[in-house]
């Protein structure tokens, strides 16, 4: 674990809080200090959304921020949970008698709903109760708490908040709110350790990941997840079928509902906030993928398709869906309904298999809502640009506005190594039309496992897509950071340009490659033009002349008149006084 | 000059030719050899558009590919040109008595139109004459030559082809054809040498730049351009006002029409194929920029605005526009009508200044067409995603379909260091609706001058945007490369995945970071899942079962029926036979 994970992105950044004194709620934000303008005017510090939390020593974990709120509702009971079996950490743990790095930090006693109680945020929203989680989110999103409650009640937004993950800071996923991004981490059979995954978690939230999915498929799955949940200020998502598959030696045909249910309960007790469930991969849909260019590319989707074919039975996640709802309702775990039949190539986009599954995901969404269980729906994948919009519009209509959570989509298949870019293009388009959360794609997509640099590149690229969509949606205040940075640029406040950017260190490093000298950071020219001539400098002269709005209008009117004369006579236009431009000094 | 510039992108790539034997025309393409499928079927090699030309030793230059075609038209005459003045290379050359690296290769005697003749491709297209340039382009674009001629005649497309740049391979810019990309190179007062710029030229065309603009503003401008033009298989564009400004010691107010005209003729004789002319920056528009967040950010725009204000006169590029048309018509130089008032921040997008200038660019487009001079129109810049489409639709309507050539646009201002990405998002959107050429943006935009890595990143990123737009437009055959790569991916033909990608070496390097062993390149699993489990492997099993279309339909029908029973009875669906899936070996 490198300490850089816990440092601010930039020296001009600091931790500040939005306060709701009445309810004793404090929302952490990042405050960016700004230099004064050249004319001496001060520039108000900018406060931006912060996902990195208070920071933690990984072996200790984070404080249980929400514990008091959960206790106050008096709707939960502590119980002796399922605990952990060595097999939960795979065969190597069985051999060893231990995981490779056991969790030694405090582990909360598992909570579940008291008999007959529902503990979900959706339940309270529907009952008209405003929870501290809702107030936290309203402050964080700078919106009315009633908007939060009503969107939750309608199922158009979710606050993933497992009662066994009290360390998390509430965040909301819904199209009425800021577009969110998820970062995937997790080990695989071929590489990486527990420490690396915790390091990636802290790194991803430092750069702006709103949720993190632990997609581990290798050894130490249970213990890796324990370290991640205890250290995570953001909701954690998983795909439980991966662990269940480990428990049956990777033999998809050996999976059973009982093994899966046991794995889900194990993860509910650990504090996983949302789980991807591939309950829409129905037996009758499987043959629809046979003629595809790339068949089934979702791991979970192909596991369940394999199981269905091996047993000639309907997907057990579908047949046992109501039992899953009952379990999730006891912990406030949210469904992320997996699109196991998503297209794996632009050639397969928007096909019969994909849309057949979406019909089933819509049916399941409404079944989950009957249990007050929060739901989001997963989306593709690989979609050519002109077919992207249909995906969000169809999902929103069929699923009554349940939040859409998409992977990209990638708008071309020809650029492995650059799929963070091919997918950010599709992600911006699909978020513009209402997708609530974007699952990042790193440069390693299709090629290998992301390292720390890839995680950062993926997160920054997706912050760009999400923010561009917020601007396109006209989200209130979304343009503040753009305008502050543009003003700094126009005023040659180089340090502020760096500190206002999504990746200050990279911006500064790129600048310094061309103009390393410290004075260049306050120089009144850009490295593109050099000191002798600069376009910004000339427009400063123009502004100095036509500065005030009234003056500008007067002159514009006068100029229009004069230029009419000019055009008539081909003569000269006379201005009130001479303006000297010359070469910038 | 590194020899890697002249190598193919990948060992599986080779130079091939599309032949028009009847007219003796050969169009170079890159042929990508493919491995057979696992079932033994051969995969036809894929031929893709190639911009890198035959390759040249920079000190010698390229062969005069088009010279015979130009001569055959018998519409030009050689003459003793203006030649070169030492001042053309700046004050350091005056001191030195020479440029820092004089061009020693062969220099063609300048040609111009015979008196009373027009030599432009637009002139011939309007006269119903099909030139070899048009045939070359038709073969290259795989379209009917009549489409090429008629689009040229209507002004909806251009083939930039200065008669003094016979080394260039004809290419077409227009919305009916493949979306093109431009790469900017060029030195500045603060850095870089002639050799570096030639190196960047060859590097940019190797990765797919369709045109290159030499934006040099430092020393040796004339000689740098000579090296670039003589070595360039793609059209070269410039912004002559930059050199003109050098000739008057960087004092915008000292510029005159005579100095500018002389500079334009100098560049026409050298072989520049298109020039950015900021003739739309009218005196009366300048005050409209005073209240902007970022004023005027175009260098050429601010030079002309500065000149207008200094002299209280209308822009001399506007008042002398017809003389420019007469000059361009003699050499077949195309206008790139500069958008000097483009927004420099999302806050300034689609404002009065920007659209006032566009009205004037539309007027100038039609004036140039009177002289049979080819024209494209430049566009922004910084535009929030939801306002991008209006730019292309407005330009197309006002300019009667003249090709639009945009810089990005960037859809947010908050990510310096990643503006290749912020702009590729806007570029895909604007190209989808008809923008014909995209000017690349590199990661160094706003921060510094691009190095060789930045040039490559910018070109690849813009190939992605252009290709994604071609797919979205349903351009015939645009999906072939995507489908070939997706098929290779599904069949675990790793080497073909690399060779079919836009950047094979990077794709392979990323793969090898996780699975370096050579056998992994033929392994039937992805590094994401590891050997024990793989989704593609399972869907292969599904395809093996439901392979043929007819079988698939039969089974799908049967399954639908069975699943109806299943849903009715909650019982089992019986398939013709048992399929064993199990864990992939």
Round to whole Å and give the CA distance between B382 and B400: 24
pLDDT band at A238 (very low <50, low <70, confident <90, very high): very high
Name the binding residues of A: 184, 213, 242, 278, 298-300, 339-342, 378, 382, 405, 446, 526, 529, 534
- Is the Cβ pair A539, B582 closer than 8 Å? no
Q: Which of A307-311, A468-472, A473-477 has the lowest mean pLDDT?
A: A307-311
- Is the Cβ pair B448, A510 closer than 8 Å? yes
Indicate whether B491 pLDDT > 50. Answer: yes
Strand segments (E) across B514-553? none
pLDDT of A574 reads: 30
Instruction: Report the percentage of chain B scoring pLDDT > 70.
Output: 87
> Which uninterrupted H or E stretch holds A404?
strand A404-407
A557 inside 8 A of chain B by CB:
no
Round to whole Å and give the CA distance between B555 and B575: 9
pLDDT of A517 reads: 66
Round to whole Å and give the CA distance between B322 and A306: 72
Considering only residues A91 and A179, tell me which one the structure prediction assigns the higher pLDDT: A179
Diameter of chain A measured on Cα atoms = 96
- Over the range A93-123, which residues count as b (16 or more CB within 10 Å of their CB) and which as e? beeeeebbeebeeebbebbbbeeeebbbbbb
pLDDT of A99 reads: 87
How many other CB atoms are there within 10 angstroms of residue A181's CB atom? 27
Average pLDDT score over residue span B302-324: 94
- Please tell me the distance in Å from B126's CA to the nearest CA on chain A: 32
pLDDT band at A80 (very low <50, low <70, confident <90, very high): very high
Of B283, B479, B503, the CB nearest to A417: B503
Indicate whether A476 pLDDT > 60. Answer: yes
pLDDT of B429 reads: 98
Alpha helices in B312-406 (DSSP H): 316-319, 321-331, 352-370, 388-398
Average pLDDT score over residue span B109-129: 97
Round to whole Å and give the CA distance between A151 and A172: 10
Average pLDDT score over residue span B556-566: 50
Average pLDDT score over residue span A161-172: 98
Contact predicate A275/A267, CB 8 Å: yes
- Is the Cβ pair A448, B510 closer than 8 Å? yes
Interface test with A, best of B499, B542, B553 (most A CBs within 10 A): B542
- Please tell me the distance in Å from B82's CA to the nearest CA on chain A: 28
DSSP state of A97: T
**C-alpha dihedral over A43, A48, A52, A56, to 10 degrees?**
50
pLDDT of B217 reads: 84
Please list every residue in chain B whose beta carbon sits closer than 8 Å to the beta carbon of residue A293.
483, 486-487, 490
Q: Which two tokens stand for residue A231?
A: 């250290």
β-pair type (B173-174, B157-158): antiparallel
- Please tell me the distance in Å from A324's CA to the nearest CA on chain B: 18
pLDDT band at A582 (very low <50, low <70, confident <90, very high): very low
CA B225 distance to own-chain centroid: 19
Indicate whether B14 pLDDT > 60. Answer: yes
Indicate whether A98 pLDDT > 70. Answer: yes
**C-alpha dihedral over A185, A188, A193, A196, to 10 degrees?**
-20
**C-alpha dihedral over A238, A240, A246, A251, to 10 degrees?**
-130
pLDDT of B6 reads: 80
- Is the Cβ pair A412, B467 closer than 8 Å? yes
pLDDT of B97 reads: 87
Burial of A549 (0-12, 13-18, 19+ CB in 10 A): exposed
Indicate whether A198 pLDDT > 80. Answer: yes
175-204 of B, contacting A, C-beta below 8 A: 188-191
- Is the Cβ pair B414, A482 closer than 8 Å? yes
pLDDT of B534 reads: 59
- Is the Cβ pair A468, B286 closer than 8 Å? no
Burial of B58 (0-12, 13-18, 19+ CB in 10 A): buried
Round to whole Å and give the CA distance between B276 and B211: 13
pLDDT of B550 reads: 47
Please list every residue in chain A whose beta carbon sits closer than 8 Å to the beta carbon of residue B546.
286-287, 290-291
pLDDT of B573 reads: 28
Indicate whether B529 pLDDT > 70. Answer: no
Interchain CB contacts (distance < 8 Å): A and B:
495
pLDDT tens-digit readout, A531-544: 445 566 666 677 67
379-418 of B, contacting A, C-beta below 8 A: 382, 384-386, 411-418
Instruction: Report the percentage of chain B scoring pLDDT > 90.
Output: 74
Indicate whether B79 pLDDT > 50. Answer: yes
pLDDT tens-digit readout, B45-78: 999 999 998 888 889 999 999 999 999 999 999 9
Most confident of A49-58, A431-440, B242-251: A431-440
- Please tell me the distance in Å from B117's CA to the nearest CA on chain A: 30
Closest chain A residue by Cα to residue B472: A386
Find the angle CA(A385)-CA(A388)-CA(A392) to the nearest 5 degrees.
160
B293 inside 8 A of chain A by CB:
yes
Most confident of A516-530, A540-554, B271-285: B271-285
Closest chain A residue by Cα to residue B567: A314
Mean pLDDT of chain B: 89
- Is the Cβ pair A346, B529 closer than 8 Å? no
pLDDT of B572 reads: 32
- Please tell me the distance in Å from A396's CA to the nearest CA on chain B: 20
Find the angle CA(A141)-CA(A146)-CA(A150) to the nearest 5 degrees.
100
B431 inside 8 A of chain A by CB:
no
pLDDT of A525 reads: 53
pLDDT of B584 reads: 28
**Considering only CA atoms, which of A225, A222, A239 is closest in space to residue A197?**
A225
Q: Which of A191-200, A507-516, A567-576, B354-363 has the lowest mean pLDDT?
A: A567-576
**Considering only CA atoms, which of A79, A159, A65 is closest in space to residue A114?**
A79
pLDDT of B256 reads: 97
User: Before B409, cis peptide (omega within 30)?
Assistant: yes
Please list every residue in chain B whose beta carbon sits closer than 8 Å to the beta carbon of residue A461.
418, 421
pLDDT band at B520 (very low <50, low <70, confident <90, very high): low
Estimate the crossing angle of helix A257-270 against helix A240-247, to 10 degrees. 120
pLDDT tens-digit readout, B442-489: 999 999 888 999 999 999 999 999 999 999 999 999 999 999 999 999
Indicate whether B193 pLDDT > 90. Answer: no
Indicate whether B102 pLDDT > 60. Answer: yes
pLDDT tens-digit readout, B421-441: 999 999 999 999 999 999 999
A37 inside 8 A of chain B by CB:
no
Of B299, B421, B583, the CB nearest to A461: B421
Contact predicate A375/A404, CB 8 Å: no
B243 inside 8 A of chain A by CB:
no
Residues 6+ apart with CB under 8 A from B165: B229, B232, B235, B236, B271, B272, B273
Q: Taking the model in full, what pTM does it have?
A: 0.92
**Considering only CA atoms, which of A341, A334, A263 is closest in space to residue A302?**
A341
Please list every residue in chain B whose beta carbon sits closer than 8 Å to the beta carbon of residue A417.
501, 503, 506-507, 509-510
Indicate whether A566 pLDDT > 50. Answer: no
Please list every residue in chain A whose beta carbon sits closer than 8 Å to the beta carbon of residue B485.
413-414, 416
Round to whole Å and give the CA distance between A6 and B288: 46
A249 inside 8 A of chain B by CB:
yes
Mean pLDDT of chain A: 89
pLDDT tens-digit readout, B404-423: 999 999 999 999 999 999 99
Of A288, A417, A531, the CB nearest to B556: A288
Considering only residues A119 and A535, tell me which one the structure prediction assigns the higher pLDDT: A119
């Amino acid at each position: 674990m490198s300490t850089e994970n816990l440092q601010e992105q930039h020296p001009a950044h600091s931790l500040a809080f939005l306060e709701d004194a009445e309810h004793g709620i404090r929302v952490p934000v990042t405050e960016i200090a700004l230099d004064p303008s050249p004319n001496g005017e001060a520039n108000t510090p900018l406060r931006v959304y912060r996902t990195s939390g208070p920071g933690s020593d990984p072996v200790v974990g984070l404080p249980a921020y929400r514990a008091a709120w959960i206790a106050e509702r008096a709707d939960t009971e502590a119980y002796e949970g399922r605990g952990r079996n060595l097999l939960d950490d795979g065969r190597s743990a069985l051999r060893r008698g231990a995981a490779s790095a056991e969790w030694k930090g405090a582990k909360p006693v598992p909570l579940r709903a008291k008999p007959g109680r529902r503990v979900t945020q959706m339940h309270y929203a529907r009952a008209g109760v405003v929870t501290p989680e809702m107030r936290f989110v309203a402050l964080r999103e700078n919106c009315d708490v009633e908007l939060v409650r009503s969107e939750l009640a309608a199922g158009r937004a979710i606050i993933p908040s497992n009662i066994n993950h009290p360390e998390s800071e509430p965040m909301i996923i819904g199209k009425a709110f800021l577009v969110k991004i998820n970062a995937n981490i997790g080990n695989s059979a071929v590489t990486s350790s527990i420490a690396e995954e915790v390091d990636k978690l802290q790194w991803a939230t430092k750069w702006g990941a709103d949720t993190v999915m632990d997609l581990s498929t290798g050894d130490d799955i249970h213990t890796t997840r324990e370290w991640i949940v205890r250290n995570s200020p953001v909701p954690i998502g998983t795909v439980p079928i991966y662990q269940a598959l480990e428990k049956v030696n990777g033999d998809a045909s050996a999976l059973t509902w009982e093994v899966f249910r046991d794995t889900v309960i194990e993860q509910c007790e650990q504090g996983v906030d949302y789980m991807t469930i591939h309950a829409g991969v129905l037996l009758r849909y499987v043959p629809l993928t046979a003629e595809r260019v790339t068949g089934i590319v979702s791991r979970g989707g192909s596991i369940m398709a394999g199981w269905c074919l091996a047993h000639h039975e309907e997907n057990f996640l579908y047949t046992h869906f109501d039992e899953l709802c009952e379990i999730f309702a006891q912990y406030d775990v949210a469904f992320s309904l997996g699109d196991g039949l998503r297209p794996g190539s632009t050639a397969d986009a928007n096909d019969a298999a994909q849309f057949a599954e979406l019909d089933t995901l819509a049916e399941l969404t409404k079944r989950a809502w009957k249990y007050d269980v929060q739901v989001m729906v997963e989306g593709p994948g690989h979609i050519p640009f002109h077919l992207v919009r249909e995906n969000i519009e169809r999902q929103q209509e069929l699923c009554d506005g349940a939040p859409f959570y998409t992977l990209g989509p990638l708008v071309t298949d020809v650029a492995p190594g650059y799929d963070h870019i091919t997918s950010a293009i599709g992600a911006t388009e699909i978020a513009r039309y209402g997708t609530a959360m974007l699952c990042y794609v790193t440069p390693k997509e299709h090629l290998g496992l992301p390292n720390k640099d890839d995680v950062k590149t993926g997160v920054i690229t997706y912050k760009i897509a999400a923010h561009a969509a917020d601007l396109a949606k006209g989200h209130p205040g979304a343009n503040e950071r753009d305008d502050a940075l543009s003003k700094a640029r126009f005023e040659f406040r180089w340090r502020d340009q760096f500190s206002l950017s999504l990746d200050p260190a990279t911006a500064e490093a790129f600048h310094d490659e061309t103009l390393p000298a410290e004075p260049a950071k306050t120089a009144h020219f850009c490295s593109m033009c050099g000191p002798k001539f600069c376009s910004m400098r000339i427009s400063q002269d123009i502004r100095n002349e036509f500065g005030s709005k009234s003056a500008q209008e007067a002159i514009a009117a006068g100029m229009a008149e004069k230029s009419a004369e000019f055009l008539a006579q081909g003569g000269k236009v006379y201005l009130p006084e001479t303006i000297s431009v010359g070469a910038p000094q």
